[in-house]
Amino acid sequence: MAARLSSTDFEFNSAYDSHRFLELEAHALLTRLNRVKPFALQMTSVPAAAVSLQAQASIEEVLAHGRSELRKRVGQFLEWLKSAGGRVATAADAQRRFTLLRLRFNAVLTQVDLFADALVQRSEHEYGTWIGGLDVVAADALALPGYYEAPPAICYLDRGAGAAIRRARTRLPGGGETPVAIIRVPRERMIGSGIASSLVHEVGHQAAALLDLVESLRPELQARQHGAGAQKVAWQLWERWISEIVADYWAIARAGVASTTGLIAVVSLPRAFVFRVNMNDPHPFPWMRVKLSCALGHALFPDPQWQRLSRLWDSFYPLADLDDTRLRLISILQQSMPEFIQLLLQHKPAALRGQSLPEALAVQERTPQRLRSLWRRWRAEPPKMKSAKPTLAFAVIGQARADEAISPKQESQLLGELLTLWALADAIGRSSAQTPTLTTFRTVI
């Protein structure tokens, strides 16, 4: 005859079973954690598509630290289960501790997935190499020697029309800081000079953070709000939008008219969205964002092309039939725009040590006249294009595209060749004790 369990026996065995269950779950968690291997053992991309050694080492270090810290926590949990305090703890208390542990495990996996999104595409034929080339473009767009140490930047493709960045040195899910800038580029933009608009805009966010541009501009924008009368709302909006405007500013300075034509392609939406004003949105509403881009481009690089683009945008989205409230707001913004642009051009943040952004970026080297001259020279001597800086090449090709000196098909073919060349040169440079110049490899393609 089977022995009958008393209530005391039941409570004891229930506690034992719960602790044993959680012990096995902790071991299962450790087993799954040990299945998470370094990316260097998993990525199948060709060398030209791989991220830089600095980026890969930084990523692996962050992830290894997360795995090590989690293993330590699991070990501590298992020790606690077998300790005197753990043996007498209730099942609910033990479950609470394990739940927190599992949440930490999921956070570590989220970090792995975050970087995996930017790395697994490297194995795609042709696209993987182009993404490697985009890494080189991003590095060039971010470079500002003498003012900051630029972190590595890695790119990946995703659906949708907009780009995005997870800046380096920002908090990762679950804790820690990301060691690289991760830039999401719209797949539909591959490939044409318009991709420079999206890519360099996102790089602008990283550069602005390194230079503390946004925070150094805010006091000046806030000062303009005092006594501004009817224009106060305009200066409030310029301050609200300043982060995105600074990124557009950086893109125009680096990529020229390609930045504005690329922006037009991104924000060409149904009319209701183009004129939708959300006072809490950090982005200027599309109609005003394009108008500001044209005006800022003209201020940096005076040329009739900016007025032509502005008129083109007006023809796409005329102000007719807008309600009086939005018409008044647009009027106030346009009235304050010249003063706002001068503020941007003349601003000298402490990080630039007495220089304005146009001076630090040497924008005089990327005027439309010079870009057109370079295009004519490169057509006669193609190897010179292949030895140019990537962002300069994008700016020249973007200018040629805006001038209709090159067809969309020719533009895409040329940029595909250049992205492949840059990726290859970067890969060979990483494997060499002495980094060669791009000129060395221009005959490889």
Listed range (48-57, 155-164, 281-290, 386-395) with the worst mean pLDDT: 48-57
pLDDT in tens, 323-373: 999 999 999 999 999 999 999 999 999 999 999 999 999 999 999 999 999
Range picked from 41-50, 88-97, 199-208, 421-430 for highest mean pLDDT: 199-208
pTM above 0.75, yes or no: yes
Peptide bond into 191 cis (omega under 30): yes
Cβ 400 vs Cβ 375: under 8 Å: yes
Confidence band (pLDDT; 50, 70, 90) for 432?
Answer: low
pLDDT at residue 257, rounded to an integer = 97
Token pair of 371 as six digits? 């870009």
pLDDT at residue 45, rounded to an integer = 65
pLDDT in tens, 360-417: 999 999 999 999 999 999 999 988 898 899 999 999 999 999 999 999 999 999 999 9
What gap in Å lies between CA 399 and CA 393, rounded to an integer?
A: 10
Confidence band (pLDDT; 50, 70, 90) for 43?
Answer: low
pLDDT at residue 12, rounded to an integer = 41
DSSP of 126-160, one letter per residue? THHHHHHHHHHHHHHHH--TTT--PPPEEEEEESS
Q: For the chain, give every domain's residue range.
A: 12-117, 212-364, 367-441
Amino acid found at 124:
E
pLDDT in tens, 239-284: 999 999 999 999 999 999 999 999 998 999 999 999 999 988 999 9
121 vs 394, which has greater pLDDT?
394
The average pLDDT across 229-245 equals: 94
Inform me whether the pLDDT recorded for 214 exceeds 80: yes
DSSP of 274-302, one letter per residue? HT---TT-SSPPHHHHHHHHHHHHHHHS-
